[in-house]
Structure 1
Amino acid sequence: MSSGDCQQSEALAKPTLSEEQASVLVESVFGFRVSKIHPLPSYDDQNFHVHILRTKDTTDGPTEYVFKISSTEASKNPDLIEVQNHIMMFLKAAGFPIASVCRTKGDHTTSLVSIDSGSEIKSHLVRLLTYLPGRPIAEIPIHPPLLYEIGRLAANLDRTLEKFQHPKLSSLHQENFIWNLKNVPLLEKYLHALGQNRNREIVEQVIKRFKEEVMTKLSHFRECINHGDLNDHNILIESSKSASGDAVYQVSGILDFGDMSYGYYVFEAAITIMYMMIESKFPIQAGGHVLAGFESVIPLTAAERGALFLLVCSRFCQSLVIAAYSCQLHPENKDYLMMTAKTGWKHLQQMFDMGQEAVEEIWFETAKSYESGVTM
């Protein structure tokens, strides 16, 4: 195992607190008494849904929170987590449906705690966020108007973050961060997890084309801060009834800012398209509706549009390869790790079989139809 593999393995070694340990920390660090607690699914951190007891000091505040315990590796970079917290507070102040970051008893946004894992004592950063209502997009039928709104949301996030400032903002420059779309070539370390099959052949072709067609053109893309993970489980939706009695869905929450980094507008568009394809009955067409929403806020340049197909394929590869590799390390977390893979390989193969020109024609014509008011 290479040093990079070791680092990835350590990063994916999730904290393993018991519910009792988590409850004790919520009280000792944040001053809340826990009435009910249960674990939430997560990738490499550990999360708990926490209900607190009302007291004379919390009569008007929320009673539901998410207690987050960062992995050992992530906890070594407190500046990055601090910036993530301040970005959340900045976006919430700007009107986005973001969780509030709770202060510790010492008036900080995080706390570094020592936790006995049974075999050794490890240090972990812990945070407490307010719990957001709603259901993840993965649990509801996705229709074009919602896809369009998700595209607008992704662009508005990046556009708003143009104004964000923080003395530790440079921590978002993560050169070897596996989830930054710029780092697709790093996937070569993990291809062994796929075995020898067509899926691996497709990934190898994507990496080769990425090096030739994207890495050489990065200077033509516009830089920005990316959320980087607007997936079908990180966007919450609430429904209401329209005048005609139909269900109308609106975004009620944006979760998980742990993959934020410096990237490009077209990266955010590609990542959002890829994840919205996962849950759509018509995955190729879905990309056009997301693109239309994104471009209603930030129109892509010709160079950015020309890279979009390969970038969407690249994000599929990142998600699918790392999930396969992570399952080898942590088979007990297989159900969560392989959510994207259930349909992801099928979508990636379909895109490859259709070819860039055919897929782009559907995306760009669908996006264009919004300009004329006749949505495809």
Structure 2
Amino acid sequence: MVATSQPPLGTPPSAPDDEAIDLPGAAVLNAPPAPFALAQAQALLRQHYGLEAQFSPLSGERDANFLVTPHEGPRAMLKISHPLESPLVADFQTQALRHLAHSDPSLPVQRLLPTRDGADAVLLPCAGGQTRVMRLFSYLEGLPMPQAPRSAAQRASVAQALARLDRALSGLQHPASRLALPWDIQYAHRARGLLRHVPDPARRALAERALDAFESQALPRLASLRRQAIHNDFNIYNLLVDPAAPERLSGILDLGDMVHAPLVDDLAVAASYQIEVEGDPLGTMAEFCAAYHAVLPLQSAELQALPALVRARLAMVVAISGWRAARQPDNAPYLLRNNPISWARLQALDGLDPARASAVLHQACGLAPL
């Protein structure tokens, strides 16, 4: 997350040129990784946490992450933030974890492990006057969801876990929660200019129709919807399941995209990764909503906005990843890994009738449509 000014929600999209992208926090998306020497990380762990451990690097898009295996005790994860990330943003994640530990202690999220002095984090000065934040977290065991078989029971488990998380995050306040993010669906229309990097005219038009639906069906409603701190990236790559029972969610990762936004945006992000392109995609969305609604009841206005928000999120995925891949061709396969299924889901939802979608979602949740 990076700090940027936020325009009013109704501001129409501008037409950015190829270098001046009108997307909140766009610069951080193209920032190269900032590696950290393993030996130096080990020394810092020893100094600040009093731990001797084996280290191995973990994947991370920008931060430096290490799996820590102490000589005694459970495994942990050492995270050293990217120099471009403000310590204020890192503290938002820290305070969220502290908040969750009190509001719903049984949620399967990481726990902060304090330093020898009882601190939540260590600030590491680096070149250029920037600061990196070092924190130690508990390590969540489990099978990454992309490696597990998918099922209706698993989708229900995901929806219920998200509802619990959102309920637990309610009431969390932090100065960083209102910073603008590139992945904030509230500003999906500002990704329209990035679609120039989609070479296929038919696909480009498909994504543009999704953004048209967002602007006409969701954007005018957003200001009136209930808002709070949300996870904002509840995708399958941030979820773990029990290897022996893959329908059961066992871990929730990565609070790095948290933002203060309409509550239903969190559901839209999660649902966009659960849509079945074969059969009845709207039915899949309805089942997902019903499972969420059973834990945290949804409001009628939220259900009316949801389908357009889901399509907007999918359009953002193909727009932002295509733009990034055009600037980072060596990393294009990784950046575009979600594009084929996102295009398929956009196609499956193309032409969705808003009235029918609203009726199906309301019926699934046992609500009377407006």
Same fold (TM over 0.5): yes
Residues 90-99 or 29-38, more deviating: 29-38
- Aligned counterpart, 2:253: 255
- Aligned counterpart, 2:4: none
**Alpha-carbon offset, residue 357 of structure 1:** 5.2
Q: 1:335 to 1:367 in 2, by over 3 A?
A: farther
Aligned partner letter, 2:348: Q
User: What whole-Å deviation, never above 9, does each CA across 1:124-175 have from its counterpart, x for those lacking one?
Assistant: 222221110111221112221221221122122112222435xxx132012x
User: What whole-Å deviation, never above 9, does each CA across 1:218-262 have from its counterpart, x for those lacking one?
Assistant: 23311122111111011111144xxxxxx4632211100011111
CA contact (8 A) 1:15 1:69 kept: no
* Number of aligned residues: 346
CA contact (8 A) 1:142 1:279 kept: no
What SS does the aligned partner of 2:295 have? coil
**Alpha-carbon offset, residue 294 of structure 1:** 1.0
- Aligned counterpart, 1:88: 97
Q: 1:129 to 1:363 in 2, by over 3 A?
A: same
Aligned partner letter, 2:153: P
Aligned partner letter, 1:78: P
Residues 230-239 or 207-216, more deviating: 207-216
- Aligned counterpart, 1:47: 65
- The answer as to 2:148 corresponding to 1:144 is no
What SS does the aligned partner of 1:36 have? strand
Q: How far, CA to CA, are the matches of 1:275 and 1:114 in structure 2?
A: 38
- Aligned counterpart, 2:41: 22
Q: How far, CA to CA, are the matches of 1:143 and 1:82 in structure 2?
A: 36
- Aligned counterpart, 2:187: 183
**Alpha-carbon offset, residue 322 of structure 1:** 1.6
Query: What does residue range 10-159 of structure 1 map to in structure 2 within 5 Å?
Result: 10-13=28-31, 14-40=33-59, 42-54=60-72, 61-62=73-74, 64-74=75-85, 77-93=86-102, 94=104, 95-115=106-126, 123-159=131-167
Aligned partner letter, 1:298: L
Q: How far, CA to CA, are the matches of 1:279 and 1:79 in structure 2?
A: 40
Aligned partner letter, 1:103: P
With normalisation by structure 1, the TM-score equals 0.81
Q: 1:11 to 1:269 in 2, by over 3 A?
A: closer
What SS does the aligned partner of 2:235 have? coil
With normalisation by structure 2, the TM-score equals 0.83
Q: 1:106 to 1:364 in 2, by over 3 A?
A: same
User: Sequence identity, in percent?
Assistant: 22
Residues 263-272 or 14-23, more deviating: 14-23
Unaligned runs of at least 5 residues, structure 1: 55-60, 241-246, 370-376
Q: How far, CA to CA, are the matches of 1:103 and 1:141 in structure 2?
A: 36
What SS does the aligned partner of 2:83 have? coil
Q: How far, CA to CA, are the matches of 1:34 and 1:225 in structure 2?
A: 35
Q: How far, CA to CA, are the matches of 1:18 and 1:283 in structure 2?
A: 46
CA contact (8 A) 1:11 1:71 kept: no
What SS does the aligned partner of 1:113 have? strand
What SS does the aligned partner of 1:277 have? coil
**Alpha-carbon offset, residue 201 of structure 1:** 1.6
Q: 1:71 to 1:279 in 2, by over 3 A?
A: farther
**Alpha-carbon offset, residue 273 of structure 1:** 0.6
CA contact (8 A) 1:232 1:279 kept: no
Residues 205-214 or 301-310, more deviating: 205-214
Query: What does residue range 1-376 of structure 1 map to in structure 2 within 5 Å?
Result: 1-2=19-20, 8-13=26-31, 14-40=33-59, 42-54=60-72, 61-62=73-74, 64-74=75-85, 77-93=86-102, 94=104, 95-115=106-126, 123-164=131-172, 169-174=174-179, 176-195=180-199, 197-240=201-244, 247=245, 249-277=247-275, 283-353=281-351, 355-356=353-354, 363=361
Structure ranking higher on relative contact order (CA contacts 8 Å, 6+ apart): 2
Residues 221-230 or 31-40, more deviating: 31-40
Aligned partner letter, 1:133: E
Q: 1:6 to 1:224 in 2, by over 3 A?
A: closer
Unaligned runs of at least 5 residues, structure 2: 1-18
Q: How far, CA to CA, are the matches of 1:337 and 1:248 in structure 2?
A: 26
**Alpha-carbon offset, residue 335 of structure 1:** 3.9
Instruction: Please identify runs of 4+ aligned residues in structure 1 that moved more than 4 A.
Output: 3-7, 278-284, 353-369
Residues 27-36 or 250-259, more deviating: 27-36
